[in-house]
Structure 1
Amino acid sequence: MNQPKQKNLPVLRQQYKNLFACLFVYAIIILSFQAGCEPAAERISQEHVKPNIIYIIADDLGYGDLGSFGQQHIQTPNLDRMAAEGIRFTQHYSGSTVCAPARSVLLTGFHSGRTQIRGNREQLPIGQYPLMFGTVTISNLLQQKGYATGGFGKWGLGYPGSSGVPSLQGFDEFFGFLGQRRAHFFYPEFLFHDVKGEELKIVYLEGNVVDDTPPSPSFTRPGSGRPIERVHYSADVIHKEAVRFIEENRDGPFFLFYPTQIPHASLTVPDESLALYLDEDGNSIFEEDPHNFGHYTEQPMPKAAYAAMVTHLDMQVGEILDKLVELGIDGNTLVIFTSDNGSHSEGGYHYSMLDSNGPLRGGKRDLYEGGIRVPTIAWWPGAINPGTVSDHISGFQDMMPTFAELAGAVPPPGIDGITMVPSLLGTGDQKQHEYLYWEFHEQGGKQAVRWGDWKGVRLNVRVNQDNTPIELYNLSEDIGEENNVADNHPEILERMVEYMKEAHIPNKVFPLFE
């Protein structure tokens, strides 16, 4: 560049320097102002950043079990902080009313009338009916986009040697329980470590001793049963491995699928967490009815144990959030917390005891709201506006297209999910579902449809598919589903019948009518 031919160059140079400095400062101010006004999601889109994604799914946690969702008896400070710093979804639904099909809906993007796994069909000695080879899951979709993929917790979608093991369904690594029934106990003798390209490994938890011999109800599941010697609490062992995965993949992007076994029965929790719900004499702060029979571990204080399990999980969620901040990756990590179905009535606990399902009717295994509407929180500092509440009607099937959009991937065609990114990040118009559908092949067969404010529920469909009556509720006026208004709205019932027929595709393994 030619220099200007002036005699007083030092003065001009200084003037130029001053001018450029002013312009630079002014530009910074303008850009900062624009960045401050610009929606966070647009800035993220412009930067083409693939966020880390952490999906934590509690096991049998009720809609009302968190303080941010109205809980008065159970301490959940970290999840309440997560809600205050993120967004709560008040009308988010699980894919099913029990564990395995809920996970199948989540990972495949198909609702329970079309997803492969529609029940907890057990395959002895360890595992459930498997996902098929070639299934497109969230994990392999993200894996193809360069994500490190890890699963930690309770799997329930296959058994050792089957097509459904995590390493064949898009996970680089899995650590935890493959079978669900073994996860009913929290001091097992071993867990599984499944690494892509390697043989499935058994990791022994030295010191844990269980009763797995006849007449124990769990004798067909080796290394599982009521604990005799308690050393390693499985949920803590798994949690430690999940945190290790975060640390090792801090440079991202990574996908952490964390289906914890808490607070599913048996009602078992470390003493330090249980102590939060004991008085100075070591007695429960609640009135208790001891549990000492059946499949699950004996528990003299079911209410205190359940509450302590939820608080223990809350502590683990807090540790994950703190770890993200410590590593400096919280601003590029989406964390979603939810539950696989409503709260349970097992192991001495009933969901009504501590208002676990809030104002909702029913619980686990029901298709009433208490069985399928789940507390859901999303946290992403700098991307999600703090303290946001969304009443967008959504479900587990929406995670596939949501995560695909965030990762720059294309979801498989024909899935039932709709991206939630507009609701999640507060940008653009959110596309709505025409309706949501559920089916459950057990207990005589059940179906349910959510269409706007209307909810249709049909029970015992296997008895008489065509003439089984549909219960009808207006959730905007009757969230507790107490007032069946079917007789007043025949035109709505006709629509419900159409949706139920349209949504169900026959499945020989999990027959609804057949």
Structure 2
Amino acid sequence: MVFILADDLGYGDVGSNGQKLIATPHLDKLAKSGIRFTQFYAGTSVCAPSRASLMTGLHTGHTPVRGNFEIEPEGQFPIPDSTFTMAKMFQQAGYATGLFGKWGLGFPGSEGEPVRQGFSQFYGYNCQRQSHNFFPDHLWENDQRVPLPNTFLHQEQYAADLIQKKAVSFLQNNRNHPFFLYMAFTLPHASLQLPKGDKAFDAYKQKFKEAPQPIRPGWQGIGYEPQPYPRAAYAAMVSRLDQYVGELVHELKRLGLEKNTLIVFTSDNGPHLEGGNDPEFFQSSGGLRGKKRDLYEGGIRVPMFAAWPSVIKAGAESSQVGAIWDFLPTFAQLVGQPVPKRGDGVSLLPTWFGKGKQLQHPFLYWEFHEDGGRQAVRIGDWKGVRLGVLKNRHAPIQLFNLANDPAEKHDISATHPEVVQRIARLMEQEHVEIASFPFWR
């Protein structure tokens, strides 16, 4: 099992979803070799809570982590030791479990560390804030800090390259044993940084005829590194992500594991605006409204495809409505483990395999704790969005019909008060207040 999670990759950033300016040949080939979902959603519109939703099979009204709660000097609010995670489930099934990339669900030494949450091997960034720098002065291997020779003046080792090498070694070392590889790439999240000599970066500069942008002098390594060629850099980072995925698929083939390995690819939320990125230029949201931090479709609808030769039909496309919290029950069914009683997901295996009856979500729910607080609910084709929740838990709800208006341009709440009332009841019902991430103030 190889689960690949991109970081801030928009629905429209891959060729299989209509991207025209950025080349993603390996991802497009992977999508065509399996089933591609057109209505799949992240846990919410920022990193930590979306990843908590992935690990727990719970939507963000139920997850133990619901925001990017920073811990100094390094790390985020930890998921509790008692949490049943996807990694623990795979361990119970006898799988070797490896996480390579970004965690963000528990600071070093906390109960939320990866090695305490079901991963037998971890290499990468514990802290999502640290991962904003692709040339960090350290990474983590299991619970040990690994110093690197990087400084902001001397950028020698590109962290994504180091992480990729560790992941390939994990495949090689477990070729004769069932494994769950969670590949949590940090690309294409800002900063917009690339290693020296990146050929795609130079090629995109020429392709876009991009003039260098003025940047503030005297950057001292704090915050996102200024990037004079942000469009070329973002495109090159997406292409580099594509390259890494191609290398993993190639290694599976080389090891003779391709036919017995399920590969799933998705993203943690919509495209970002940080570090000079220009998602409008690339149509990164795929024509949908919103970006990262929005609960409109562009902030939470993400690319997703699953490939497994001879098991999942190649070239399939599905409009099945799914969400990142569906993966835990899906994988539990796949490896014969009991599905947690307290969960919000449904197994997607009937759709993936084309066999059996696919259960449908009666609704999907999201919440977001920044920018005044937001909630969203989808029931069938109805989508409700509420803004300003932290000040007014009964703020007006915008209503859209995604079948007729996927870009959410027309608020039709005034003409469908009964639907609005139904969505309001679900927003009240599905948010379970917890002291660590209070919503109502």
TM-score bin, normalised by smaller chain: over 0.9
Task: Give the aligned partner of residue 128 of structure 1.
Answer: 76
Q: Secondary structure at the match of 2:427?
A: helix
For residues 306 and 237 of structure 1, what CA distance do their matches in structure 2 show? 20
Paired residues for 1:312-461 under 5 Å: 312-461=240-389
Partner of 1:285: 209
TM superposition shift of 1:276: 2.6
SS of residue paired to 2:277: coil
In 1, Cα distance between equivalents of 2:168 and 2:420: 49
Distance, in Å, in 2 between the alignment partners of 1:310 and 1:166 is 26
Determine whether 1:494 maps to 2:424: no
What is the correspondence of 1:210-249 to structure 2 with a 5 Å cutoff? 227-249=152-174
Matched to 1:258, the amino acid is M
Which residue of 266, 291, 308 corresponds with 2:191? 266
**Is the 2:6–2:188 Cα contact (8 Å) retained in structure 1?**
yes
Distance 2:276 2:323 in 1: 30
Deviation (angstroms), 1:269: 1.4
Q: Distance in 2 between matches of 1:411 and 1:369?
A: 29
Which digits, 9 at most, give the CA deviation of each residue in 1:48-107, with x for residues without a partner?
xxxxx1111011000000000000000000000001111111111000110000110000
Q: Contact (CA 8 Å) 2:230, 2:278: kept in 1 or not?
A: no
For the residues of structure 2 that align with 1:410 and 1:299, how far apart are their CA atoms? Answer: 48
Q: Quote the RMSD (CA, aligned, Å).
A: 1.3
2:430 maps to: 503
Rounded to whole Å, the distance in 2 between the matches of 1:205 and 1:245 is 21
Q: Percent identity?
A: 49
Deviation at 1:289, TM superposition (A): 4.0
| Map of 1:464 onto structure 2 | 392
Provide the C-alpha distance between the structure 2 equivalents of 1:109 and 1:288, rounded to a whole number of angstroms.
44
The residue number in structure 1 matching 2:177 is 252
Which runs of structure 2 are paired with 1:110-149 in the superposition (5 Å)?
A: 110-149=58-97
Q: Give the distance between the partners of 2:215 and 2:109, measured in 1 at CA.
A: 36
Counterpart CA distance in 1 for 2:278 and 2:205 is 19
- The equivalent of 2:37 in structure 1 is 89
Highest Rg: 1 or 2?
1
Q: Is the 8 A contact 1:290 1:302 kept in 2?
A: no
Find 1:70's aligned residue among 11, 18, 22: 18
Distance 2:324 2:101 in 1: 18
Q: Could you say what secondary structure the match of 2:59 adopts?
A: coil
CA contact (8 A) 2:328 2:345 kept: yes
Q: Give the superposition deviation at 1:351.
A: 1.6
Return closer, same or farther for 1:290/1:390 CA change in 2, 3 Å cut-off. Answer: farther
- Which 10-residue stretch deviates more, 419-428 or 284-293? 284-293
- Contact 1:291 1:348 survives alignment (8 Å): no
Name structure 1 gaps, 5 residues minimum.
1-52, 195-199, 210-226
Whole-angstrom distance in 2 between the partners of 1:505 and 1:289: 46
Note the alpha carbon deviations across 1:387-433, whole angstroms, 9 max, x for none.
Answer: 11011001011000001011111121120011000111111111000
Other-structure match for 1:100: 48
- Change in Cα spacing, 1:147 to 1:379, as seen in structure 2 (3 Å) is same
Tell me the distance in 2 between the aligned counterparts of 1:291 and 1:241: 34
Alignment partner of 1:482 is 2:409: yes
Q: 1:291 to 1:75 in 2, by over 3 A?
A: farther
Residue pair 1:440, 1:512 contacting (<8 A) in 2 also: no
**Aligned residues of 1:184 and 1:296 also touching (Cα < 8 A):** yes
Q: What is the distance in 2 between the residues matched to 1:503 and 1:285?
A: 49
* Paired letter, 2:419: I
Q: How far 1:275 moved relative to its partner?
A: 2.1
Query: Within the alignment, does 1:512 sit opposite 2:430 as a pair?
Result: no
Q: Residue 253 of structure 2 aligns to a residue in which SS?
A: helix
Which amino acid is 1:276 matched to?
A
Contact 2:56–2:84 at 8 Å: present in 1 too?
Answer: yes
Deviations 1:191-241 (A, max 9, x none): 0001xxxxx2122223x12xxxxxxxxxxxxxxxxx211111001100110
Report the Cα distance in structure 2 between the residues aligned to 1:73 and 1:285, rounded to whole angstroms.
13
Match of 2:408, as an amino acid?
A: E
Opposite residue 278 of structure 2, the aligned amino acid is H
Aligned match of 1:303: 231
Shift in Å at residue 287 of structure 1?
Answer: 5.7
Q: Which amino acid aligns with 1:449?
A: V
Distance change in 2, residues 1:115/1:101 (3 Å): same
Q: What is the TM-score with the length of structure 1 in the denominator?
A: 0.83
User: Which of 131, 136, 147 is residue 204 of structure 1 equivalent to?
Assistant: 147
Any idea what SS the aligned residue of 2:414 has? helix
Query: Number of residue pairs matched?
Result: 435
Q: What is the CA-CA distance between 1:278 and the residue it aligns to? A: 2.8
Given the two structures, how large is their TM-score scaled by the length of structure 2?
A: 0.96
- Mapped to 2, the partners of 1:439 and 1:290 lie a distance apart of 37
Structure 2 match to 1:10: none
SS in 1 for 2:275: coil
The code of the aligned residue for 1:168 comes to R
User: Which residue of the other structure, out of 102, 125, 134, is the alignment partner of 1:186?
Assistant: 134
